[in-house]
Copies of this chain bind each other. A is one copy, B any other.
Amino acid sequence: MVGPGDDAAVISAADGRVVATTDLLIENRHFRRDWSSATDVGRKAAATNFSDIVAMGARPTALLVGFGTPPDLNLAWVDDLTAGLREECGQVGAAVVGGDVVAADVITLGVTALGDLEGRDPVLLDGARPGDVVAFVGRLGYAAAGYAILSRGFRSPVQLVNAHRRPEPPYAQGPAAADQGASAMTDVSDGLVADLGHIAEASGVRIDIHARAVPVPLKMREVGAALNVDPLSWVFTGGDDFALVATFPAGTTPPDGWTIIGAVADGQGVRVDGHRWPNGGHEHFR
């Protein structure tokens, strides 16, 4: 309703509530200019935040971007960054409504996304109950495999490398899962085991995962063999693909595209085929 250029933006919130999340992304910690283009950085910065919005069951509406830039940064890089932010906004029907530009030693992005629940109850971390099924949608481990490939100086297979550069979160599935009655939901940004752990802890339940139900693509197995890494570590602990994982009460059906991978039980923590995942799954690939 009021976009960039005034003291603040004004955004419609017809629902009477607004969903908001913020992330800070810093060069050489969250992205590298030699691994990702400016457009990639813009898309991923927006995706990181939109993913949190849809994980509440909301539709992203607006993006605000605080941009810290070294004084010698190429103007074309800034244009491409902006293009990437706008492209990702286009994926969800949101708009960049405000921002701030300051000088910084390294490229710094403070990104905030807003969203509209459109009348839905927000889907929180604490709603999982024993008997619920656990399901996910989106990609698991792709970005982590891509990061591992880039870290070792390789540039292919491009499908996995690009997954690190430019996630493709299943945005429409967040509101769809809420409509379908999801009892708890989060996006996979810390890794499947770690993020399910957040649901288990907040809900006071145990989550059992059946490893065989979790897909490991052939390409990822091949790369794992070549790099001497167990590809399951990418699938179970890799973040940055921004898959969605949710619990659904028994008797409800996850939306099309979701894969059931386990169940909620009494107890605590996350078990994969009955065992704890080493290190609790807390492995950050960002």
Residues of A within 8 A of B (CB): 1-2, 5-26, 29-30, 52-53, 55-56, 58, 62, 64-68, 97-100, 102-106, 108-115, 117, 122, 124-125, 185-187, 202
From known contacts A7-B55, A8-B115, A16-B14, infer whether A23 and B100 are also in contact, taking CB-CB under 8 Å: yes
Check A13–B10 contact: CB distance below 8 A: no
Which label, helix, strand, loop or mixed, suits the secondary structure of the A interface? strand
From known contacts A8-B52, A8-B53, A29-B102, infer whether A112 and B23 are also in contact, taking CB-CB under 8 Å: no
Residues of B within 8 A of A56 (CB): 2, 6-8, 10
Closest residue on chain B to residue A13 by CB atoms: B13
Say which residue of B12, B29, B109 sits within 8 Å of A103 (CB atoms): B29
Assembly stoichiometry (copies): 2
Say which residue of B17, B108, B186, B202 sits within 8 Å of A11 (CB atoms): B17
CA distance A58 to B110 in the complex (A): 23
Say which residue of B2, B18, B22 sits within 8 Å of A13 (CB atoms): B18
Check A98–B20 contact: CB distance below 8 A: yes
Check B2–A122 contact: CB distance below 8 A: yes
Can you name 14 A-B pairs with beta carbons within 8 Å? A6-B122, A6-B125, A8-B20, A8-B115, A9-B21, A10-B20, A11-B19, A18-B114, A20-B112, A24-B100, A24-B104, A26-B68, A110-B112, A112-B112
Check A105–B105 contact: CB distance below 8 A: yes
